[in-house]
A = this chain, B = another copy of it.
Amino acid sequence: EAAAGLEGVCSMLRLPLQASPEGLDAAFVGVPLDSGTSHRPGARFGPCRIREESVLLRAVNPSTGALPFQSLKVADLGNMNINLYNLQDSCRLIREMFQHIVTAGCIPLTLGGDHTITYPILQAVAKKHGPVGLVHVGAHTNTADKALGETVHHRVPFRRSVDEGLLDCKRVVQIGIRGSSMTLDPYRYSRSQGFRVVLAEDCWMKSLIPLMAEVRQQMGGKPLYISFSIDALDPAYAPGTGTPEIAGLTPSQALEIIRGCQGLNVVGCDLVEVSPPYDLSGNTALLAANLLFEMLCALPKVTTV
């Protein structure tokens, strides 16, 4: 019993560090990549600072009754090695790592890194589970096409995923979308694929519990991935991010979204776009750590009381 939570080395939620996903039900893994960022970089340090702030968290979630560590074997796999100088090669490395994780029957909970990483993660996830449903929370649809001929960066992961058939497009919802755009109808692509696009302004000053009831129905019992960009939240709550957009969601809405996924067939999760150099208080990382803990608590086999 410790008087305070500073013992050990900073692992996620003070979990044991483990080199291999074998034998785990779920694992946290860091992907320290930010070379896909269009504006403020720094998300490469996201995993490290999220772990650091996660020591404030305790094992029980009294709000949902979840006891994640009683039901699941969970560890922290550390940060994977990426190639900061080559986005395409990093995507290959990420895909391979996550294939290894999902093949072992382990659900990955990823500490980003910028949103680019969701594309190769979905490649690995879909290889195992087939096209998956998606709860994407963020300010941007990330369905841009090429920029300067580049097909991989943080504005395109869901376009690439559609191109490769990784998503079950009728079970895709994007929540928190907002901001100025380069085209007249920036949501056309998403909607033409069948995605549900929930604008931030349709969330303002509202509980999202009714929305999540609809989302749960939409998702059914089939495999589902949660991709949560911290820029979904208003910059007041999450200043440490790469492309902040004003008038975003609140932490209570974020909790309503994640808790609303409880009971679904979640096969993977990520929390991306935390940029520590812009997070002087550490509170963006703390928020991210909390949201990752809530995702863990929402996983299929977690006991609740």
Which residues of chain A from 1 to 32 have any CB-CB distance to chain B below 8 Å in the complex? 1-11, 17, 30, 32
Provide the residues of chain B in CB contact with A34, threshold 8 Å.
Answer: 41
Q: Does A213 contact B (CB under 8 A)?
A: no
Provide the residues of chain B in CB contact with A218, threshold 8 Å.
Answer: none
Are the CB atoms of B41 and A41 closer together than 8 Å?
Answer: yes
Provide the residues of chain B in CB contact with A17, threshold 8 Å.
Answer: 9, 17
| Cα–Cα, bound, A293→B305 (Å) | 43
| Cα–Cα, bound, A4→B114 (Å) | 15
| Cα–Cα, bound, A230→B149 (Å) | 32
A182's closest neighbor in chain B, by CB?
A: B58
Q: Does A215 contact B (CB under 8 A)?
A: no
Provide the residues of chain B in CB contact with A78, threshold 8 Å.
Answer: 7-9
Q: Does A76 contact B (CB under 8 A)?
A: yes
User: How many interface residues does A have (CB within 8 Å)?
Assistant: 98
Q: Taking the full assembly, how many copies of this chain does it contain? A: 6
Are the CB atoms of B148 and A89 closer together than 8 Å?
Answer: yes
Contact of A38 among B4, B57, B179 (CB under 8 A): B4
Provide the residues of chain B in CB contact with A244, threshold 8 Å.
Answer: 56, 283, 286
Write the A182-220 contact mask toward B (1 if CB under 8 angstroms, else 0): 111111000000000001010011110000000000000
Q: Does A36 contact B (CB under 8 A)?
A: yes
Chain A contacts to B: CB under 8 angstroms: 1-11, 17, 30, 32, 34-42, 44-45, 47-48, 51-52, 56-63, 67, 76, 78-87, 89, 147-150, 152-153, 178-187, 199, 201, 204-207, 234-237, 239-240, 243-244, 246-247, 250-252, 254-255, 277-278, 280-283, 286-287, 290, 293, 305
In the complex, the 9 A-B pairs of residues with the closest C-beta atoms, listed nearest first: A41-B41, A277-B277, A6-B32, A7-B81, A247-B251, A239-B281, A85-B150, A236-B236, A58-B180
- Given contact pairs A3-B150, A35-B35, A57-B180, a sample of 19 additional A-B residue pairs in the complex whose CB atoms are under 8 Å apart: A3-B147, A3-B148, A5-B39, A6-B84, A7-B79, A7-B82, A41-B277, A48-B52, A60-B180, A60-B181, A60-B184, A61-B180, A62-B184, A62-B186, A201-B252, A235-B286, A246-B286, A247-B255, A278-B281
Q: List 6 A-B contacts (CB under 8 A).
A: A3-B147, A41-B41, A58-B180, A58-B181, A85-B150, A89-B148
